[in-house]
Amino acid sequence: MPSIRFRLNGAPTEIDADPDGMLLDALRGPLGLTGPHFGCGSGECGACRVLVGDHAVTSCDTPMWSVADKDVTTLEGLGSFERPHPLQRAFIAEQAMQCGYCVAGILMSAAALLRQNPRPTETEVRAALDRNLCRCGSQNRMVRAILRAANEAAAT
């Protein structure tokens, strides 16, 4: 299998992978990450979203060849307990989940939105998350958390 190089959460990474294999399988398999979650395998639910460059993509149907030489960011790379991303702080502050399985992908969609549009309106937030599903009904809390994070980022 050919070797594919990309940057994963800022670190140069090289793995032997089928170019037509899916990014999620590489991330959760040989690369050992658990931030992106498997939900459907066909790009419909968004639990597996990661950033490729500044865009949130569903890693379950993103082929490996397409991320060669790109920057891939997963939830692990968004922030940490010690240095949380404003979105992570805001999701805790708003208690913005029930089960939290979908949150890994929703945080990445939200991160992409804030990179492209640092002060989104509520309608823009909802539109940006429309391809992420949440089954527990925590959407409104998540929207509030994203707006809170945007406000905080703007204030600092």
Binding site for another protein (CB under 8 A): 21, 25, 28-29, 33-35, 37-42, 44-45, 47, 74-76, 79-81, 84, 88, 91-92, 95, 97-104, 107, 123, 125-127, 129-130, 132-143
Cβ contact 47:101 at 8 Å: yes
Give the Cα separation of 83 and 11 in Å (integer): 17
Give the Cα separation of 40 and 123 in Å (integer): 26
Q: Which is nearer to another protein, 127 or 154 (CB)?
A: 127
Burial 64-99 (b: 16+ CB within 10 A, else e): beebeeeebbbbbbbbeeeeebbbbebbeebebbee
- Residue 4 beta carbon to another protein: minimum distance, rounded to whole angstroms: 15
Q: Which is nearer to another protein, 52 or 149 (CB)?
A: 149
- Residue 68 beta carbon to another protein: minimum distance, rounded to whole angstroms: 19
- Residue 137 beta carbon to another protein: minimum distance, rounded to whole angstroms: 3
- Residue 108 beta carbon to another protein: minimum distance, rounded to whole angstroms: 11
Separation in Å, CA 108 to CA 2, 57, 116: 28, 9, 13
Q: Which is nearer to another protein, 69 or 120 (CB)?
A: 120
Give the Cα separation of 72 and 56 in Å (integer): 10
Q: Which is nearer to another protein, 41 or 69 (CB)?
A: 41
